[in-house]
């Protein structure tokens, strides 16, 4: 018989983590998070990480795995998640892959071979310096269309993101 894995996926704030915990208790499972933000240490607000008591009750993996300044890739996630899943199966437990990143879920369970590419360290350094210089503040951008809403460009964690206000 082929090894089984249960996947719990869905939109943000739909209760995936809580559902995985309840299910793991009922079926002798362990949880591998496929959430793209829960794997970062210090990113506790807005990520719905499991509560400390839940982490003690049910083994969880891919939580607080790395730091926000680490250039984490799908290749690394795939390798590590598969190692954890294999370990869960070897202990006679059922792996439950839970999270909101379909990209990471597919990386863990499908036969996809990702190509590891080089990052542009010079560009990342420039963004980090800009974020340090600005203290995380954003620049107001002009609306894309006349009468459109303004947007702000925020610099944080070495990446830029746009927010429309």
CATH at 30: 3.40.50.300
Instruction: Let me know whether 101 and 125 are in one domain.
Output: no
The domain in which residue 79 lies consists of: 6-109
Helix, strand and coil in the chain, % to nearest 5: 35, 20, 45
Residues 115-144 as b or e (16 or more Cβ within 10 Å = b): eeeeeeeeeeeebbeebeeeeeebeeeeee
Q: Give residue-wise pLDDT tens across range 69-121.
A: 787 888 899 999 999 999 999 999 999 999 877 888 998 999 888 777 777 77
Query: 89 in a domain, yes or no?
Result: yes
Query: 1 in a domain, yes or no?
Result: no
Instruction: Let me know whether 98 and 129 are in one domain.
Output: no
Query: 114 in a domain, yes or no?
Result: no
pTM over 0.85: no
Instruction: Let me know whether 102 and 144 are in one domain.
Output: no
Query: 34 in a domain, yes or no?
Result: yes
Q: Is the pLDDT of residue 47 over 90?
A: no
What's the structural domain count of the chain?
2
Instruction: Let me know whether 15 and 66 are in one domain.
Output: yes
Q: Is the pLDDT of residue 34 over 70?
A: yes
Q: Is the pLDDT of residue 138 over 70?
A: no
């Amino acid at each position: 018989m082929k090894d089984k894995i249960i996947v719990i996926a869905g939109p943000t704030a739909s209760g995936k983590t809580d559902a995985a915990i309840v299910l793991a208790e009922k079926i002798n499972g362990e949880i591998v998070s496929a959430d793209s933000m829960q794997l970062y240490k210090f990113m506790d607000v807005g990520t719905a990480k499991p509560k400390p008591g839940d982490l003690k009750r049910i083994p969880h993996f891919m939580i607080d795995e790395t730091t926000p300044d680490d250039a984490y890739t799908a290749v690394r996630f795939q390798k590590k998640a598969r190692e954890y899943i294999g370990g869960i199966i070897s202990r006679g437990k059922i792996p439950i892959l839970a999270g909101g990143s379909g990209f990471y879920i597919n990386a863990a369970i499908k036969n996809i071979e990702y190509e590891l590419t080089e990052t542009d360290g010079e560009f990342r350094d420039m963004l980090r310096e800009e974020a340090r210089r600005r203290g995380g503040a954003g620049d107001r951008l002009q609306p894309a269309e006349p009468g459109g809403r303004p947007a702000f460009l925020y610099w944080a964690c070495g990446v830029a993101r746009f927010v429309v206000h």
